[in-house]
Amino acid sequence: MNKKALEKSLLQLQEENKILKEENAYLRFELEELRAKRYKSGSKKPPDNNTPAVVPKKKGGLFGHIGWFRKKPDRIDRIEEVRLNCCPKCGSRDMTECSKIDEHIQEDITLPKVEAVLYRRHYYYCPRCRKIVSSKGEAELEHSYIGPKAKAFAAFLRYAVKISERDVKVLFEKAFNLKIVASSIAGFRYQLKRAGSPLYQKLMQSLKTGAFIHADETGWKIDGKTHWLWKFSNKKVSVSHIDESRGQKVVEQIVGERYGGVLISDFLSAYNKITARRKQRCLVHILRDLKKVREYWHDDRGALRYCERLEDI
């Protein structure tokens, strides 16, 4: 390599070195600026105990979001007149009432009391039946020391709100002063199931007479084992059914082998052999499949035209 080439190479390296130094200096400046923002120096004076603490302002909603305001209650259950006997500042009783009255509505929970009911059942002799007969109270549960409202509320907390049986027990004791055993809450569920079975069967029959049924299923764990939560519904009725099977027999059990309306479902084979007046496949599933067709046959004009026409329909 001659002298000229060496000088040229040296000048080039010097120029690159200069650029790198400038970039390095700029990056150092940015780093120091970021550090100053991230780690601010603790130069603030310690708060004075005599100075009242400044309450931070409430954080507002996001820009563009519509504000939410609590609706005024439809009724006022109780009016409390807040009056003064003496001045809260100096204790003087020499005060004159002004015409100004500030009204403030507040909603709160008034915990219900536990009601103990003694049902005194009277017995009668029926000469026609030749038997001694009696009846039960309006809200009486035979052989039960806990009433239907308490049992229903305990089951709601356990299976709808999904709090533990021990937490339900604590809530009943603290809020209502009603002692129950945690293990008995599972029994409440089976009692409610037996009591609600006639209504459930009635809803099932009503579902079958409707003009259409939406049907779907999803995975559902019971004690770690996979089951299936089936849902059958129309505009008025919604029926849930949990089963170990995901097969056709479950659809037959709920809908029947023949259905006189429109069965709306996804492409699960369990619905294929059910006879219905008409069948409608889920539109979301169809559109999802059309997207796959476009990906695999993106060069096929006929396939693309078919997808477009089907989407228009």
pLDDT at 56: 64
In order of 4, 7, 9, 246, the CA distances from 13 in angstroms are 14, 10, 6, 73
Over the stretch 160-186, which tens digit does the pLDDT of each residue have? 898 999 999 999 999 888 888 888 888
DSSP 75: -
- Tell me the domain boundaries of the chain: 146-208, 211-312
Average pLDDT, the chain: 85
Tell whether the model's pLDDT for residue 52 goes beyond 70: no
Do residues 274 and 251 make contact, with C-beta atoms less than 8 angstroms apart?
yes
Confidence of residue 48 (pLDDT cuts 50, 70, 90): low
Average pLDDT over residues 68-86: 83
CA–CA gap between residue 175 and residue 66 (Å, rounded): 36
Average pLDDT over residues 242-247: 93
Tell whether the model's pLDDT for residue 67 goes beyond 60: yes
CA–CA gap between residue 87 and residue 97 (Å, rounded): 11
**Single pTM value for the model:** 0.55
pLDDT at 29: 66
pLDDT at 79: 87
Q: Angle at Cα 290 formed by Cα 285 and Cα 294, nearest 5°?
A: 150
Q: What are phi and psi of 288, to 5 degrees?
A: -65, -40
Residues 6 or more apart whose CB falls under 8 angstroms from that of 256 comprise 208
Identify which of 268, 265, 243 has the alpha carbon closest to the alpha carbon of residue 253.
243
First CA to last CA distance, the chain: 76
Position with higher pLDDT, 297 vs 228? 228
Confidence of residue 65 (pLDDT cuts 50, 70, 90): low
Mean pLDDT lowest among 13-17, 67-71, 128-132, 239-243: 67-71
pLDDT at 60: 63
Average pLDDT over residues 54-66: 64
DSSP 271: G
